[in-house]
């Protein structure tokens, strides 16, 4: 029961702190429409960008984490903000392990790729024993094309 409570608290915290999105980009720059012929290319790019975000968090590598974000998002997620986010996620979710692609949500101007992300965590029970468990969350990444380059418009764990 304690593991369930810890998981619910962790998920609630992540939903509040980990959803990041750039609204400035959508207002100030024009998103290009996706072409049907680019679907596989964009999917491969999205997977790579998602890996950069997840591995940047896992390794504490700020440059890897923000590498494919819009400039507006990079300004909002400073290195200091990143370190605080990573510390909270490590404590609440545990160590990032993997992600598995689930689906893609289509829009003429962007694509939202949804995956299942798995984290390993350990909790200490009342009897002082520790229990290891997996946290599974949805990871979404939103990709758009601005100035002929694919960028991350938003991402988050839920």
Distances (CA, A) of 26 to 11, 53, 67, 98, 152: 28, 21, 19, 30, 12
Domains of the chain: 2-157 (3.10.450)
The reported pLDDT for the residue numbered 78 is 95
The reported pLDDT for the residue numbered 20 is 52
Whole-number average pLDDT of the chain: 83
Residue 51 to residue 43: CA distance in whole angstroms: 12
**What are the beta bridge partners of residue 100?**
116
Residue 152 to residue 133: CA distance in whole angstroms: 30
Position 115 pLDDT exceeds 50: yes
pLDDT in tens, 126-153: 888 888 989 999 999 999 998 889 999 9
The reported pLDDT for the residue numbered 139 is 96
**42-57 average pLDDT score:** 94
Position 14 pLDDT exceeds 60: no
The reported pLDDT for the residue numbered 39 is 87
């Amino acid at each position: 029961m304690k593991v369930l409570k810890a998981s619910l608290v962790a998920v609630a915290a992540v939903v509040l702190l980990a959803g990041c999105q750039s609204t400035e980009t959508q207002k100030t720059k024009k998103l290009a429409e996706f072409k049907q012929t680019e679907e596989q290319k964009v999917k491969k790019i999205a997977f790579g960008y998602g890996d950069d975000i997840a591995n940047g968090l896992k390794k504490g590598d700020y440059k890897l984490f923000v590498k494919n974000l819009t400039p507006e998002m990079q300004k909002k997620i400073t290195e200091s903000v990143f370190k605080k986010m990573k510390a909270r996620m490590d404590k609440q979710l545990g160590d990032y392990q993997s992600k598995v692609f689930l689906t893609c949500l289509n829009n003429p101007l962007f694509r939202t790729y949804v995956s299942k992300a798995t984290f390993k965590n350990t909790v200490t029970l009342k009897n002082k024993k520790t229990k290891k468990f997996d946290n599974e969350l949805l990871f979404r990444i939103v990709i758009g094309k601005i100035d002929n380059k694919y960028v991350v418009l938003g991402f988050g764990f839920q």
